[in-house]
Chain A
Amino acid sequence: MTAPETAGTGLRTAHLASRPGARPTVGEIISVLILLLIVLAAVAPRLLAPGDPLGISPADAFQAPSWQHPFGTDESGRDVYTRVVHGAGESLLIGLAATAIGLGLALVIGILGAVAGRAVDFATTRINEVLFALPGLLLALVFIAIVGPGVATTTVAVGLSTAPGYARIIRTQIRAVRGSAYIEAAVVLGHSSPRILGRHILPNALAPVFVLATLGVGQAIVWASSLSFLGLGAVPPAPEWGAMLAAGRPYIELAWWMTVCPGLAIVATAAASTALGRSIQARTRQGDG
């Protein structure tokens, strides 16, 4: 399972200076449109797909895509298009919430490690190492075994297992920013430590991390689908994308649309948010230059 956090090592510490960039590119416009569409599906699915995502019709099972069912039907005769649209909410929730949990935890660990004393740094580094050294899936499996399955469990499990990666990057970023010339200048100017941390270090250190988190949303959904494959993901009959992907896999030879359609939704979300994240990053970098 790949996780988003690692991209950070390749990220530079960009000093955030908001200067409006040039005109938006075609890619950016497309990304924004895709994300808007997904958010619309999450907020008001009935606008895009008025049908019932749970409405079964066994006699219509495994129908190939047609005008009536643009994404075909699944093993219970449910309309895959309707399910993909209605699944956006839960999938996006898993993606966003898991990333938020991972980042939140990482912030605590990372900031403490970077700004508190040596002892705290040593402790948080070790905590992070422990979390890092545990296979993420083991963490998730044990957590689900303790709490029981469900969207909330899956989300927390995924969030927990991505936290160490984010924490590591945050710590590195904060240290890099702390050592930079403008912080030294702020210190020379006699600014208080909390002020330096709040006004200068955090915003500059975290900007690239948040860009990185855009990658994490798609990754978290993929992660959750692996848990569904192991039988421990979203609870049926929720049309969550990862769960749909896992449920369609046994029929891959017979009904490719059952996995390809929700899979494309995941890829579109991941691609659009990554592309947008990159654009934002590129623009802040230009601002730097």
Chain B
Amino acid sequence: MPVSGARRVLRWLAVRLAGAVFVLWSIATLIFFALRLVPGDPALAILGGPGSQASEEALALVRQEYGLDRPVSEQYLLAMGRLLVGDLGTSYSLRQDVLGLIAEQFWGTLLLTVLALATAWLLALGLATWATRGSRAGRAVASALEIVAAAVPHFWLASVLILLFSTTLGMLPPVSVPGPLGLVLPVVTLALPLAGFLAQVMRESLADALESPFALSARARGESETGVRLRHAVRHAALPAISLSGWAFGSLISGAVVVETVFARPGLGRSLLKAVTDRDIPLVTGIALVSALAFVLVTIATDALDRVADPRLRGS
């Protein structure tokens, strides 16, 4: 039994990893061809942008150096071959190693998104608990807050928070500074809309959980309402939302584009925006692959956790 169990786990993992490789390859292919449909000559991106007045020689040199003069199929095979050995290539606009550039900015974005995810979680849990609690008025307020929070665009929220906490109150810096203070506003901006959303999700399962037999039996055993909530209901309600974390992480990368721009934080989101504008194909591909990889890994990890938590899934 343990042997076959281990083999089954290994097999599951192998299938998932193969799936992950497929996903990454598809994304690289998709981006490769999509960006070739975008108007604009990549050689110009290399020569200082589309307004460049580079000479014919300079253009020819660049086209040759980057292989842009070869047939598209050949360029594609070359690019995929390089990706296979983990070479993300050289950024067109920044003329630097893409892997190095990403490594430089990955941690800032990771820190921002992980903190935002955690904050959103806490806020959502608070809101959802509040929303399922007795008083009608309280419930109405909580659900109004959820809806408003989920319907606020990041860029507007960022400006309001800066106006309130930096300009008016002078409590927090409006731009990234070393240390935790500079992270507060970006994290809150990113977390609030997500919290509104997660709260709506959690409330559904929390309401279910409170009516479930185990909650009833806990009450029957004489546990306090708070105890029931904390020990059983919240834990139960959190499960489906935990499996959302992979998705939430992905959506936060999109949000990071806006938040990093407004708060002038270095990071992958801002790089992505610039890379698309510059038609910097290697950099766009690199960032897309890295965020896809993060997404895939998080998904595999949460699925694995699910398998551990729910033995029924192990057979499938």
- Which chain A residues (121-142) contact chain B, with CB distance < 8 Å? 125-126, 129-130, 132-138, 141-142
**A103 close to B (CB within 8 Å):** no
Given known A134-B27, A252-B160, contact A215–B254 (CB-CB < 8 A): no
**B284 close to A (CB within 8 Å):** yes
Return chain A residues, CB-CB under 8 Å to B159. 249, 252
**A267 close to B (CB within 8 Å):** yes
- Which chain B residues (4-44) contact chain A, with CB distance < 8 Å? 19, 22-23, 26-27, 30-31, 34-35, 37-39
| Closest Cβ–Cβ distance, residue A210 to chain B (whole Å) | 16
Number of chain B residues close to chain A: CB under 8 A: 64
Complex A-B: 27 CB contacts under 8 Å: A2-B193, A2-B194, A2-B251, A3-B197, A6-B248, A10-B201, A10-B240, A126-B22, A129-B23, A129-B296, A130-B26, A133-B295, A133-B296, A135-B254, A136-B254, A138-B254, A222-B153, A225-B153, A229-B155, A229-B258, A242-B153, A249-B159, A252-B163, A259-B156, A270-B150, A274-B200, A275-B143
Separation of A259 and B153 alpha carbons in the complex (Å): 11
| Closest Cβ–Cβ distance, residue A76 to chain B (whole Å) | 20
**B148 close to A (CB within 8 Å):** yes
| Closest Cβ–Cβ distance, residue A285 to chain B (whole Å) | 10
Number of chain A residues close to chain B: CB under 8 A: 49
Contact check, B155 vs A222: say whether CB atoms are below 8 A apart.
no
**A153 close to B (CB within 8 Å):** no
A1, A146, A226, A249: the one within 8 Å of B37 (CB): A146
A142, A218, A271: the one within 8 Å of B35 (CB): A142
Contact check, B258 vs A226: say whether CB atoms are below 8 A apart.
yes
Contact check, B258 vs A271: say whether CB atoms are below 8 A apart.
no
Contact check, A6 vs B201: say whether CB atoms are below 8 A apart.
yes
Return chain B residues, CB-CB under 8 Å to A7. 197, 200-201, 204
Return chain A residues, CB-CB under 8 Å to B150. 2, 215, 218-219, 270
Given known A134-B292, A249-B159, contact A3–B251 (CB-CB < 8 A): yes
Bitwise, B167-187 to A at CB < 8 A (1) or not (0) is 100000000000000000000
| Closest Cβ–Cβ distance, residue B7 to chain A (whole Å) | 21
B34, B147, B254: the one within 8 Å of A137 (CB): B254
| Closest Cβ–Cβ distance, residue A135 to chain B (whole Å) | 5
Contact check, B253 vs A135: say whether CB atoms are below 8 A apart.
yes
Return chain A residues, CB-CB under 8 Å to B34. 142, 146
Separation of A6 and B242 alpha carbons in the complex (Å): 11
**B205 close to A (CB within 8 Å):** yes
Given known A135-B254, A249-B159, contact A270–B27 (CB-CB < 8 A): no
**B272 close to A (CB within 8 Å):** yes
Separation of A165 and B159 alpha carbons in the complex (Å): 29
Return chain A residues, CB-CB under 8 Å to B19. 125-126, 129
Return chain A residues, CB-CB under 8 Å to B201. 6-7, 9-10
A residues in contact (CB < 8 Å) with B:
1-3, 5-7, 9-12, 27, 125-126, 129-130, 132-138, 141-142, 145-146, 165, 215, 218-219, 222, 225-226, 229-230, 242, 245-246, 249, 252-253, 259, 263, 266-267, 270-271, 274-275
A1, A138, A245, A275: the one within 8 Å of B288 (CB): A138
Separation of A129 and B23 alpha carbons in the complex (Å): 7
Residue of A nearest to B200 (CB): A7
Separation of A135 and B204 alpha carbons in the complex (Å): 27
| Closest Cβ–Cβ distance, residue B242 to chain A (whole Å) | 10
| Closest Cβ–Cβ distance, residue B37 to chain A (whole Å) | 5
Residue of B nearest to A221 (CB): B151
- Which chain B residues (214-265) contact chain A, with CB distance < 8 Å? 240-241, 243-244, 247-248, 250-251, 253-255, 257-258
Return chain A residues, CB-CB under 8 Å to B284. 138, 142
Contact check, A165 vs B247: say whether CB atoms are below 8 A apart.
yes
